[in-house]
Amino acid sequence: MYAKVIIEYATKELDKTFIYHVPLAMQEIIRVGMKVKVPFGHKSIYGFVLELLNDVNTEYEIKEIESIVDPDFFLNAELLKIADYLCESTLCPKITALQTLLPSSFKAKGQKSNYNYYETIIKLKPQVDVTTIKEQIKRYPGQLAIILKLEKEKAINQKLINGSSLKTLLNKNIVIAEKVQKYRINKTRGEKVKRKLTDEQEVAFQKIMGSLGQAKTFLLYGITGSGKTIVYLELIKEVLKRGQTALLLVPEILLTTQIIQTFYQEFGSQVAILHSGLSEGEKHDEYLKIQRGEVSMVVGTRSAIFAPLNNLGIIIIDEEHSSTYKQDNTPKYQAKDIASFRSTYHHCPLVLGSATPTLESKARADKGVFELVALTKRVGDAILPKVTIVDMAEEMKNKERVLSRVLQAKIKDRLAKKEQIILLLNRRGYATFVNCSNCGYTYKCPNCDITLTYHASNNNLICHYCGYLTKKEKLCPNCHEEALNYLGLGTEKLEEYMHKNFPEAQVLRMDQDTTTKKGAHERLIRDFQEEKYDILIGTQMVSKGLNFPKVTLVGVINADTSLNIPDFRSSENTFQLLNQVAGRSGRSNLPGEVIIQTFNPDNYVMDCVLKNSYDAFYNQEMRIRHSLKYPPYYYLIGVKVVGKDYAKTLTEAKKVKEYLTKEVSKDTIVLGPTTALILKFNNEYRFQIIIKYKFDAKLKMVLKDIDKMYALRNDVYIDIDINPSRI
Ligand code: ADP
Ligand code: ZN
């Protein structure tokens, strides 16, 4: 017997299988999808079995598989199909696709460690006569206590038992020690909350229920606070009742702790979670639970879309517009596409939920490709907040740079009423650039062509792109004068401003810097929920998923940050962000208000936020996309040509453009090369070619060819992004 094995090296030129002989002793156990150790060159490496063969025809010497890494683990048929789909849709190497499906501990790779966690438990040896034993040891109270306890509890964790008495009992062969695997996360069900669905929720629920067993996609378009989560919960309950499993994706687990709690409350140990906030060991355990069929639902972020649940009954993607569902590095997959693939595979519905669907999804719903289900009202007495747009150019005339007068007044009002406030500023750090007023020197990243952000808490200057870090000196490094300016408002500086101007208020800051420690995010949310703080300052982290009944004022400090990014999706992203953060206000019976500060008050995005009209935004933006030939009217592909030498990279980029123009179908548009948004990144220059197309049967082949042409070069490489989230 022979096996085709794909090995751990993810290089484009090694993207093929190698044949190995399966030793006789392994033939009974081995199966397709298993992880094996094989000789390769002078080393032993890891790989996956992709095919088993009875006969091979080759002139090369065939070596033997050394071992099967774990006879209980293999990639099932569906995962192998998903890997093929990943290669096909993102043009990545096969081994990269396979590795992407798995958490770190299961990947095929060199370092070996055992992630399983065991506990030793103590039990009475079977068939011992307890009465006799008790008589024998009655003079030893330590030993007697253990026996009495074991009589009651059957099994006790070794850590909880007195060491020397236990040792004697083990030596006398009265008790035994047993190693058992223990999962790191163990949740139990809470008290069930009884909720009656609102009429709208009931209609949505019934519609989707009617499609269980069919591969159909729904767009659940529900305004903020309309209770989408409860609809998900009821759907999943129903699916589990039928003996099937469910998969729920959320954009970022840290931002959705409240959702996770809801699901633990309802389903307890039936839930596995998968996200980057877990330790490797926790991920390993959660994955094992899924693989062993011990859980029936998974809640997780992007990569949880690969969770090997069998018999899937429903897939739900919450906040479907979130850019986190697209992976930015290879393989550049879109979790929604994988979800659609799995929905077809399992004949189960896929639900995409959002208050601000992507234009692509809404357009598909309009065309009838997806079925639209709408929730148009907030639950209970809550009404949508009143929005005010403030022109910051006017405020600047009055020397108000940070907070407009109206926002200042409203903050005072809420503080007096003991209500809570959220302030959104989508820039972390203290100042986004530091320059010298004497000589004009500006701190810049030596590896990238952008300014460094100053973080006052640790006196660091940091590149938010490549992570380059340096300490800030007191004097200008160029002219040695004490004349450094801190420009561009960041969350740290806003926090300082609030302390100074509202000394009576308790201010909490939530951004990447205050939430790096495990559990920090949950703690901040809990503290704010328990009203230990009056004002929550934060980056887009504060815009999603949170539900604080006492928040009646939301202030957006600078709505232009995302609007000014030169990207075809910047208007859409800004609308989503503003709508989303506005939705945090007035979620209970207290009426909410939103103040948006901007230098572009006449921009149509602001107008649509003001009118609270997704439809108005959608119609306007669709017209623009149509005239500029952007999605959803055209598909996009970004081809980056990257290299260390500016001139050489540009020359190659021009060659790639020429080749593309020649080879693709004549209705396909090839633009560029232009410099990428950040031209120099990590000491490499990046030129971008943009392809816009509707149908082009040849295109993927042409791109694969280009990829191959450059695979063996070490001066310039090609980076292809199909349906990029930004361009
Ligand atoms: P969305 O995700 O659509 O913004 P949520 O699912 O967070 O909204 O729901 C908003 C609030 O309304 C939550 O506190 C939720 O518990 C509550 N809620 C939703 N549906 C119901 C219902 N049918 N009965 C009572 N409360 C509900
Ligand atoms: Zn940098």
pLDDT band at 382 (very low <50, low <70, confident <90, very high): confident
Query: Separation of 633 CA from ligand 1 center, angstroms?
Result: 35
The two three-digit tokens of residue 358, written as one number = 């992507």
Neighbours of 192 (CB within 10 A): 8
pLDDT of residue 61: 86
CATH superfamily of the domain spanning 386-428+491-625: P-loop containing nucleotide triphosphate hydrolases (3.40.50.300)
Q: Which residues surround ligand 2, an ion (CB under 5 A)?
A: 445, 447-448, 463, 465-466, 468
pLDDT band at 134 (very low <50, low <70, confident <90, very high): confident
- Say whether pLDDT at 256 is over 80: no
pLDDT band at 279 (very low <50, low <70, confident <90, very high): confident
Domain at 635-722: CATH code: 3.30.70.600
Q: What stretches of 205-249 adopt beta strand conformation (E)?
A: 217-222, 245-249
Ligand 1 binding pocket (C-beta < 6 A) is 195-198, 201, 222, 224-230, 379, 547
Residue with more model confidence, 464 or 705 = 705
The domain locations on the chain are: 2-106, 126-173, 199-373, 386-428+491-625, 429-489, 635-722
Q: Is 105 exposed, middle or buried (0-12, 13-18, 19+ CB in 10 A)?
A: middle
Q: At what angle do helices 699-711 and 646-663 cross, to 10 degrees?
A: 150
The two three-digit tokens of residue 453, written as one number = 């952000």
pLDDT of residue 688: 94
Q: What's the topology of domain 199-373?
A: Rossmann fold (3.40.50)
| Residue 48 backbone class (left: φ over 0; alpha: ψ -120 to 50; beta: rest) | beta
pLDDT of residue 410: 97
List beta partners, residue 615.
Answer: none
| Residue 117 backbone class (left: φ over 0; alpha: ψ -120 to 50; beta: rest) | beta
Q: Return the amino acid letter for 9.
A: Y
In the predicted model, what is the mean pLDDT of the chain? Answer: 92
pLDDT of residue 160: 82
Ligand nearest to the CA of 220: 1
Query: Separation of 228 CA from ligand 1 center, angstroms?
Result: 7
pLDDT of residue 254: 65
Q: Phi and psi of 295, rounded to 5°?
A: -125, 160
Residues in the chain: 727
Pocket test for ligand 1, best of 354, 379, 383 (most atoms within 8 A of CB): 379
Residue with CA nearest ligand 1 atom 2: 228
Pocket test for ligand 1, best of 229, 250, 383, 576 (most atoms within 8 A of CB): 229
* CB-based contact 696:607 (threshold 8 Å): no
Residue with CA nearest ligand 1 atom 18: 227
Query: Separation of 707 CA from ligand 2 center, angstroms?
Result: 27
* CB-based contact 619:575 (threshold 8 Å): no
Residue with CA nearest ligand 1 atom 9: 227
pLDDT of residue 308: 97
Q: CA separation (Å) from 723 to 26, 228, 586, 634, 720?
A: 43, 27, 36, 10, 10
**pLDDT > 70: percent of the chain:** 98
Helix (H) or strand (E) holding 121: strand 118-124
Neighbours of 23 (CB within 10 A): 13
Ligand nearest to the CA of 469: 2
Pocket test for ligand 1, best of 230, 261, 544 (most atoms within 8 A of CB): 230
pLDDT of residue 41: 87
pLDDT of residue 163: 82
Residue-wise pLDDT for 47-68, tens only, equals 999 999 998 887 788 999 999 9
Helix (H) or strand (E) holding 312: strand 312-317
Q: What is the CATH architecture of 2-106? A: 3-Layer(aba) Sandwich (3.40)
* CB-based contact 249:305 (threshold 8 Å): yes
| C-alpha 722: how far from chain center | 19
Residue-wise pLDDT for 163-219, tens only, equals 888 889 899 888 999 898 888 888 888 887 888 999 999 999 999 999 999 999 999
Q: Do domains 199-373 and 635-722 have the same CATH topology?
A: no
Provide the pairing of β-strand 297-300 with 245-249. parallel
* CB-based contact 503:534 (threshold 8 Å): no
Residue with CA nearest ligand 1 atom 6: 227
Tell me the chain's radius of gyration from C-alpha atoms. Answer: 29
